[in-house]
A and B are shown apart, each in its own frame.
Chain A
């Protein structure tokens, strides 16, 4: 199955709600054809509003433009944009069975029954639900429902796929599995996708690029590696993973570094020292909370197999290239 993916361009797209709340500051955003862009941020940061504007469920403030390729779609309602949407609540039609749900977009396009059935079977195979066509929606598990929703969205060969927290309603194990399924689908179809989530591990795993959003602005946009290793603001640094902050010399600016970059060393090599406050043995590594005299406890992750004890003194060092100054 091929897709008719387009690049998406947003120009000065902002959103102020009727009650005056500024949900989105005017922003520029270019999404390449076939790219998966993840919008990541805490609730209320504007990521869902941005997605709904791309979908056509919300209109941007005056002056904002949404382009699919060279076509200005700003004035088109969602039903004429040819986008696929996947919702957190699945939004499957309870009055239709699995096959009818998947075929609904084709039905409203008046595709004849034979072609519709052929396409439905193709999609059931794609999401590994062969033989489930006649099932009612309430006979499916959460993971199966979301796969039907994906198939339904893909059936109409959308120009872009828009996913609004598709895994949030699922339990942890299922979430990981479906995340892998979605990843496989997005790669194999190379469809332009915008994926909204508040879960940073989802964002890292799925995104070609990640846009971290904070109160209606894009705080940083880049590949997952850039976002993780080179956060540009303190907000991004803290939102993605865990970040330690500490003054390494009196009067110096605060340095930021990751728990896994903090090494346990011999007393002679120590850049700083502290006392272990708590120990969490997690199997593949041990997480230590260390009091080094600064306002926050440091988090240290070590794969050292020895047993650490509360109250034990600890000597630590961080490689120069792992230090960040923001």
Chain B
């Protein structure tokens, strides 16, 4: 088949858009492993900058992982029962609550953070601890957990059936509701961890020099370190976040198939 000018034009445009997106990523990765970026790749490739990042910022990586895990635990404990209650309650208060829950996503993170500081800034111990950042992350990620779980937890008839067989509330919840809501809970969990790892807005306002998370550390390195270190740091972040994103995609595909 002969292809007309139209085809080549479209192909050209597509390739151009792809390059536009991919080249900066490649450059950034290259910058992180090049001896001297201004001289270029001919100065030699090295893992030195990554080692440097680790010695300077390892604690931000640990803190980010710690906060993400804690955030996951809190959103599971709050979000799953909340989603269950929301699915069971069909009045307008429940709907209003659902909307309210999403507000921290719509409101700029800086504003949420400022409100937290105004309200709790005087509590020194709390203000200086990582749990202050955790509160911000929970506010921001909770709606994602609730929404994911809500999508699958409407199991009213299954619960009725279990009850008719004599199952108590506890038995119904742990043996029927939770196992069958698992895909939603899993999808919500990955979402929460991913969002918490990458959260910058709220965290930037809430952090102290001793409670820097990975994204805040990134901003710090971009502002005050040499370009190679900032880029190497980005690579580290990539290696942490990409597996999570892949898992997220995998699970949402699985959930989609089961529908």
By beta carbon, the residue of chain A nearest B158 is A91
Mark out the residues of chain A between 77 and 109 whose CB falls within 8 Å of any chain B CB in the assembled complex: 77-80, 82-85, 87, 89, 91-95, 104-105, 108-109
* CB 8 Å contact bits of B230-252 with A (1 = contact, 0 = none): 00000000000000000000000
How many angstroms from the CA of A178 to the CA of B157 in the assembled complex?
A: 21
Q: Is B160 a contact of A104 with CB atoms below 8 Å?
A: no
Of B37-45, B142-150, B162-170, the segment with at least 4 beta carbons within 8 Å of chain A is: B162-170
Which residues of the partner chain B approach A149 to less than 8 Å between Cβ atoms?
A: 161
Q: Is A93 a contact of B176 with CB atoms below 8 Å?
A: yes
How many angstroms from the CA of A149 to the CA of B161 in the assembled complex?
A: 9
Q: Is A89 a contact of B157 with CB atoms below 8 Å?
A: yes
**Interface, chain B (partner A; CB < 8 A):** 157-158, 160-168, 171, 175-176, 179-180, 182
Q: Is B157 a contact of A156 with CB atoms below 8 Å?
A: no
Task: Output the least CB separation between B79 and chain A (Å).
Answer: 20
Most buried by B among A77, A93, A105, A149: A93
Judge whether A253 is part of the interface by a CB distance below 8 angstroms: no
Q: Is A87 a contact of B161 with CB atoms below 8 Å?
A: yes
Most buried by A among B163, B164, B179, B180: B164
Which residues of the partner chain A approach B180 to less than 8 Å between Cβ atoms?
A: 93-95
By beta carbon, the residue of chain B nearest A19 is B91
Q: Is A108 a contact of B165 with CB atoms below 8 Å?
A: yes
Most buried by A among B161, B165, B179: B165
Q: Is B160 a contact of A93 with CB atoms below 8 Å?
A: no
By beta carbon, the residue of chain A nearest B169 is A79
Q: Is B157 a contact of A152 with CB atoms below 8 Å?
A: no
Judge whether A270 is part of the interface by a CB distance below 8 angstroms: no
How many angstroms from the CA of A94 to the CA of B176 in the assembled complex?
A: 9
Judge whether A153 is part of the interface by a CB distance below 8 angstroms: yes
How many angstroms from the CA of A189 to the CA of B207 in the assembled complex?
A: 70
How many angstroms from the CA of A55 to the CA of B163 in the assembled complex?
A: 10
